[in-house]
Amino acid sequence: MRLRAARALVGGLFVGPVVIEVAGDRIVRIRPADGDERVDHDIVDGVLTAGLLDLQINGSFGVDVASADADGWRTLLTGLAARGVTGIEPTVITAPLPDISAALVRVGRARDAFADAPVARILGAHLEGPFLAPARKGAHRAECMLAPTPENLDALLGDPAARAALRTVTLAPELPGALEAIRRLTGEGHVVAVGHSDATAAQVHAAADAGATMTTHVFNAQRPLTPREPGVPGAVLTDERFFVGTIIDGQHLDPRVVSLVLRSAGRRAVGVTDAIVTAGLEAGHWHDFGGQPVANDACGLGRRPDGTIAGAGIVLDEGVRRMIAAGLDPAAVLSACTENAARSLGRTDIGHIAEGAVADLVQWDAAWHPSSVWIGGRALAVPAR
């Protein structure tokens, strides 16, 4: 397959016109277009990018990743792919350890079951809890929170299938045993993110010394940046060792704050949704999430009955549109959701338009809606808007 694109996102910049040659499921060549080549798909208007990667997604379309069955996973992964999201880290939140372990096992089974299907890829599970600070609990259940002691890690990861499914762990580095846990988890190949934390900047830097490399939803549920204590945001924005996960729904953070993150972190900024079961649904329909009810409000935020924000009610392509509509640089926004996200997991085979990368691609129209999507070089049917 050959695609010609007037503009394509390559290496964080829009370039073009280019011809992208795909063989099997891989991009094998990228070269300047001369205008005379025969191609299978000619992208004259709009932009071509790698597929979006959402590294913090608890569910969408009425499906909760912690309890999804085979039909639920199919609904979720198919619906996301049609919206240009070609890879995800299903996110499991705070719960009793046996429930978490069981949820991780189910994520691993789904990853294997849908590995060859033209749907969003499961990149491994993101565990957000239970090793969080009760003072920064957000929508998590404080009664289920634990310190990341060796005993609790053993209980969590005792099942080999749960351990194999796990990719990222969010924890509060100020908790007893946290630095030892970070060293253990990163030593076993997991990504550790700082989040739901009351840590000082010094404690955050100590977490980086121990191996932490990611931040979970910067500015949300963490000690804030103040004039004489940088807190979690100030630490991760200025420490080059951290990627900076940033919710781009325009509600968790004002777009001007997202712009600040993009300008400060640059290629370390990672755009996510923190989407929950209500994402992609209309307002007012109640669902269970983390053992408590949640529904979207009129702005697309998932809220508990008391008004507590539980997560985003949008899919990542809508976050891209919201940020661009707010005046943020499209290349920076899209890079945060593709190339930067992939690098935060140590991967260059996804999230990139590059020779050797998997041909997960999205064509965006002039209004920044996905108009064509390819998974491993296979074209998907994208519903008309």
pLDDT given at position 332: 98
Domain with CATH 3.20.20.140 in the chain: 52-350
pLDDT given at position 282: 86
Share of the chain above pLDDT 90, in %: 89
Residue that the structure tokens 């949820």 belong to:
103
Sign of CA dihedral 202, 205, 206, 207: positive
Catalytic: 274? Answer: yes
pLDDT given at position 62: 94
Quick one: how many helices (H) and strands (E) in the chain?
A: 11, 25
| For residues 93-105, average pLDDT | 95
CA torsion, ordered 159, 162, 165, 166, to nearest 10 deg: -110
Digit-coded pLDDT (tens) for 281-296: 888 889 888 778 999 9
Q: State the CATH class of domain 1-50+352-385.
A: mainly beta
pLDDT given at position 45: 87
Digit-coded pLDDT (tens) for 120-148: 999 999 999 999 999 999 888 999 999 99
Q: Give the count of beta carbons closer than 10 Å to the beta carbon of residue 368.
A: 20
Digit-coded pLDDT (tens) for 256-271: 999 999 999 999 999 9
Q: Is the pLDDT of residue 68 over 80?
A: yes
**Overall pTM > 0.95:** yes
Domain with CATH 2.30.40.10 in the chain: 1-50+352-385
Q: State the CATH class of domain 52-350.
A: alpha beta
Digit-coded pLDDT (tens) for 318-351: 999 999 999 999 999 999 999 999 999 999 999 9
| For residues 176-194, average pLDDT | 98
φ, ψ for residue 374, nearest 5 deg? -120, 135
| For residues 18-27, average pLDDT | 97
pLDDT given at position 309: 83
Please name the amino acid found at residue 19: V
* Omega of the bond leading into 305 within 30 degrees of 0 (cis): no
Q: Is the pLDDT of residue 188 over 80?
A: yes
Share of the chain above pLDDT 70, in %: 100
| For residues 94-105, average pLDDT | 95
The answer to whether 201 and 230 have CB atoms below 8 angstroms apart is: yes
Cα–Cα distances in Å, from 203 out to 93, 125, 132, 264? 23, 25, 14, 21
pLDDT-derived band at 8, boundaries 50, 70, 90: very high
Tokens of 226: 């103040």
Catalytic option among 274, 288, 306, 349: 274
Q: Return mean pLDDT, the chain.
A: 96
pLDDT given at position 194: 98
